[in-house]
Amino acid sequence: MRIGLFVPCYVDAFEPEVGIATLELLERFGLDVHYPYDQTCCGQPMTNTGCHQEAAATEALFVKNFSGFDYVVAPSGSCVHQVREHLTAIPQTDAVRKVRETTFELVEFLHDVLKVEALPWARFPHKVAYHANCNALRGIDHARPSELNLPYFSKPLNLLKKVAGVELVNLARPDECCGFGGAFSVFEPAVSAKMGYDKVADQKRAGADYVVSADSSCLMHQKGCAERLGLPLKYIHIAQVLNGAAA
Amino acid sequence: MSAEELHPREREGVVNPAVRAATDESERGQDGRRLDHAEGSSKPIKAPPVREPQPRGAKIRGDRPIDQAEAAERFLAAPLHAAAHDERLWDLRKKRDAAAFGIPEWEELRELASQIKTHTLSHLDLYLEQFEAAAKANGVHVHWARDGAEHNRIVLGILRDHGARTIVKSKSMLTEECGFRHFMAGEGIEIIETDLGERIQQLDDEEPSHIVAPAVHKTRLDVAEVFARTLGTDPDNDDAHYLAESQRETTRPHILAADAGMTGCNFAIAETGTVVTCTNEGNADLSGNVPKLQIHSIGIEKLIPRIEHLGVFIRLLSRSALGSPITQYTSHFRKPRTGSEMHYVLVDNGRAARLGMEEFWTSLKCIRCGACMNTCPVYRRSGGLSYGATYAGPIGLIIDPTFNKRKYSTLPFSSTMNGSCTNVCPVKINIHEQIFAWRKVLAEEHQIPLLKQGMMKAAGAVLARPAAYRAAIGAADSALKVLPRFAVYNPLNTWGKKREMPDAPRQSFHAWYKENRMKDGSK
């Protein structure tokens, strides 16, 4: 199976370990993983600000880079949500549609496509609060959101439960947004930071040592908030935990 | 600010020390049992002992775009108000969940309600005519108003015909849209709001901050202050029952003496010509039933075809709003009482135009339950007045720009688009997707700041060219220098004011890959 690895700009620049873990994890399953070297971004920063035309050239580049793979996999719910739902500033050719349909977020790819049953190399003996990124949760159906009266399921927790030693703790507000919101974090800084402070305080009260999420951008925001408040919480991407990070 | 200051409650081992103990006598009814009706069952939060001035709403400067972020920041600068507001509304969200999860067919009900609204709105002309005919047959006078100004003139005309000078009215978002109170004040007509929260807001000369709970941004001490100033009550007594009773005592004489009564409308039933109101205080009944002249203002989107459809919405409305199975009063107004006169004013005020907007027409399905506000993490931390508009919160973000695109051009950006609003909406309006769609409309029409659009244009140019992108963030140790700017496209470091900056990585993934995986020239 030929996989195109998409490493979002935040991961590329700030959390290279997340990209490395994603690559190694996919290779553990015997996949043929390629990293298109000229990749940049999915176009989300522009699109989420309403500037679709400004995103068109970036979207075209994305499709050019990621055509020809069986699947495109990225360790980010929000970027995959962008590609799947909002990569619409360019004409929807067969190539564009193919890329959009075959782009998967790492957790759902492991859970739904590979149907991973065991992660024998992974051990993470810590109290873990899982942070459900909003785009992954409500945009690409990672789990049953707390608002809906539907049968419970959670793909990321199913995977984390396969990691030896993980002890999950429950948040009082299990899937409240952490306030990152992309450009929102900059243009509405007071509310964004307050949401972040409340989120990390909830994690602390729940007794977590580590916060695990499938999105680096939320983690970066939360980590910044926790450090500002002096809370001893550690933040790590689910790709690293599933790949056997010792922490 | 330290974690202790932000969350002093942690020390005491409870979520919020302001929460009254369940043994608090003021929370008990005459039979000694704890009050457990709709609003009474919400977690009571005692106003803090320290007086903290109530933060006020957004600054209004004509048609200039509302600075919601600025008003929200001021709201958060009043931590006691901010904490009480967030707790109170989150409590409503939790009660909503409990009520919704108590009904196995909840999601089907939402779907059904949504479909009934789709059907009604796509045959609105027919149902409006049917409603009008049924109402006239019942002896009701029916008026049509193109906009808020016409609504106000029509009501004034009815009042003048009867020589009426005082109105008691129940809460109505439609009349807020119309600027009804301000208009009538200029005409020398006295209006008394009979809903407790709305009365508080009227006495404080402030707009409602929430569709269902108009004064939810105020603490009990704020209310005590307003009532002391306007009704002459004890400024130091913030007991909820004392305050509510004071309002009741001072409002009753107005109800008994008023020349006219007015209500809004929750549902208008086409087949019977009935107006249905849902309240927890019975104030719509008093407003509608006591004076000899009664007027009901109705937004044209409130129609439902038949009485059998009402049950679907009644089951959803109060569960979504407050987590109670039903409002205390669900009142049907159909015919004038003997010796009295009854008027309907059907108001468009932009609704017909909205119905023609392909991406936004489903916002007309809204039944004004406020669930999207209660769940919205941004609304809960901003206060409803920060939006500077009739409708705050998620539903406001997608409705307000239809009233004034320039003034409310900033509002669709006051959201993280997390989507919780869409999931709680009882009529399944895709609120967060409409927020996204509004951003596109506003950017295309250049209703977003030039600076922002310029940044996006620059970002788009860099991100479309790998070499330029690599030059911007490629070198390992320069990523941090560039990235806050790159990531946030903002010359000011707003990120670092409130949060710690991320650590500089040793090298980017790109550089790692080149070093570790491309030595042999493969891939």
User: 10-residue block means of pLDDT along chain B (523 residues)?
Assistant: 41 39 52 54 55 94 96 97 96 97 97 98 98 98 98 98 96 96 96 95 97 96 96 91 92 94 98 97 90 97 98 98 96 96 98 98 98 98 98 98 96 97 98 98 91 86 88 57 46 68 79 84 47
For residue B490, tell me if it sits in a domain.
Answer: yes
CB contact under 8 A, A43 and B463: yes
Pair A131, A238 in one domain: yes
Any CB–CB contact under 8 A between B11 and chain A?
no
Q: What is the pLDDT of residue B468?
A: 86
Pair A79, A154 in one domain: no
Measure A69 CA to nearest chain B CA, in Å: 13
Pair A169, A212 in one domain: yes
B46: three-class secondary structure by DSSP: coil
Pair A6, A97 in one domain: yes
Torsion of CA A110, A114, A118, A120, to 10 degrees: -80
Pair A98, A185 in one domain: no
Q: Which of A109, A139, A147, A141 is nearest to A48 (CA)?
A: A139
- Measured in whole angstroms, the distance separating CA A21 from the mean position of its chain's CA atoms is 13
Q: What is the pLDDT of residue B157?
A: 98
Tokens 């964004």 — which residue? A192
For residue B487, tell me if it sits in a domain.
Answer: yes
Domain end position, chosen among A113, A138, A169: A113
Give, in order, the Cα–Cα distances in Å from B472 to each of B235, B508, B518: 60, 12, 22
> In chain A, which residues have their Cβ closer than 8 Å to the Cβ of B68?
188
pLDDT digits (tens, 9 = 90+) for A177-198: 999 998 898 889 999 999 999 9
The phi and psi torsions of A201 (rounded to 5 degrees) equal -65, -40
> In chain B, which residues have their Cβ closer than 8 Å to the Cβ of A34?
523
For residue B82, tell me if it sits in a domain.
Answer: no
For residue B481, tell me if it sits in a domain.
Answer: yes
Pair A149, A89 in one domain: no
> In chain B, which residues have their Cβ closer than 8 Å to the Cβ of A188?
68-69, 72, 378, 413-414
Provide ipTM, 2 decimals: 0.97
Pair A153, A202 in one domain: yes
For residue A121, tell me if it sits in a domain.
Answer: no
For residue B195, tell me if it sits in a domain.
Answer: no
Burial pattern A53-63, b for ≥16 Cβ within 10 A else e, equals: ebbbbbbbbbb
Tell which B residues from 103 to 122 touch A, by Cβ distance under 8 Å: 103-104, 106-107
Q: How many domains is chain B built from?
A: 1
Domain end position, chosen among A113, A144, A166: A113
Q: For residue B192, what is the enclosing H or E element? A: strand B190-193
CB contact under 8 A, B414 and A50: no
Tokens 């903290």 — which residue? B52
In this structure, what token pair is assigned to residue B254? 């107005």
CA–CA separation, A72 vs B288, rounded Å? Answer: 62
Tell which B residues from 213 to 242 touch A, by Cβ distance under 8 Å: none
Any CB–CB contact under 8 A between B497 and chain A?
yes
For residue A140, tell me if it sits in a domain.
Answer: yes
Full 3-state SS string of B214-260: CCCCCCHHHHHHHHHHHCCCCCCCCCHHHHHHHHHHHHHHHHHHCCE
Q: What is the pLDDT of residue A235?
A: 97
CB contact under 8 A, B500 and A86: no
Q: What is the pLDDT of residue B8?
A: 38
> In chain B, which residues have their Cβ closer than 8 Å to the Cβ of A61?
463-464, 466
Question: Which segments within B230-364 are labelled E, that is strand?
Answer: 260-263, 267-269, 274-279, 293-299, 303-304, 329-333, 341-347
> In chain A, which residues have their Cβ closer than 8 Å to the Cβ of B509?
7, 11-12, 16, 18-20
For residue A64, tell me if it sits in a domain.
Answer: yes
Q: Select the residue of A35, A185, A229 nearest B2 (Cβ to Cβ).
A: A229
Q: Which of B133, B127, B143 is nearest to B341 (CA)?
A: B143
For residue B506, tell me if it sits in a domain.
Answer: yes
User: Percent of chain A, pLDDT > 70?
Assistant: 100
For residue A226, tell me if it sits in a domain.
Answer: yes
Residue of B380, B418, B440, B522 to mutate when probing chain A, most A C-beta within 10 A: B418
Any CB–CB contact under 8 A between B382 and chain A?
yes
> In chain A, which residues have their Cβ closer than 8 Å to the Cβ of B82?
194
Give the pTM. Answer: 0.91
Residue A58: closest C-alpha in chain B: B464
Residues whose CB is less than 8 angstroms from the CB of residue B514 and which lie 6 or more positions away in sequence, other chains included: none
Size of interface A-B (CB pairs under 8 A): 254
Q: Which of A160, A33, A56 is nearest to B457 (CA)?
A: A56
Residue A88: closest C-alpha in chain B: B440
Any CB–CB contact under 8 A between B488 and chain A?
yes
Q: What is the pLDDT of residue B20?
A: 44
For residue B508, tell me if it sits in a domain.
Answer: yes
- Enclosing domain of residue B485: 464-517
Under a CB-based contact definition with an 8 Å cutoff, are residues A56 and A89 in contact? yes
The phi and psi torsions of A212 (rounded to 5 degrees) equal -115, 135
For residue B482, tell me if it sits in a domain.
Answer: yes
For residue A118, tell me if it sits in a domain.
Answer: no
Domain end position, chosen among A113, A135, A155: A113
Pair A109, A144 in one domain: no
Q: What is the pLDDT of residue A10?
A: 85
Q: What is the pLDDT of residue A165?
A: 97
Residue of B463, B490, B508 to mutate when probing chain A, most A C-beta within 10 A: B463
For residue A122, tell me if it sits in a domain.
Answer: no
Alpha-carbon dihedral sign for residues B343, B349, B354, B356: positive
pLDDT digits (tens, 9 = 90+) for A112-131: 999 999 999 999 999 999 99
- Enclosing domain of residue A29: 2-113
Q: How many domains is chain A built from?
A: 2
Pair A103, A173 in one domain: no
User: What does the DSSP 8-state code read for residue B42?
Assistant: S
Pair A167, A228 in one domain: yes
For residue A182, tell me if it sits in a domain.
Answer: yes
Pair A63, A142 in one domain: no
In single-letter form, the type of residue at position B247 comes to Q
Q: What is the pLDDT of residue B488?
A: 44
Residue B424: closest C-alpha in chain A: A147
Asked if the model's pLDDT at residue A70 lies above 90, the reply is: yes
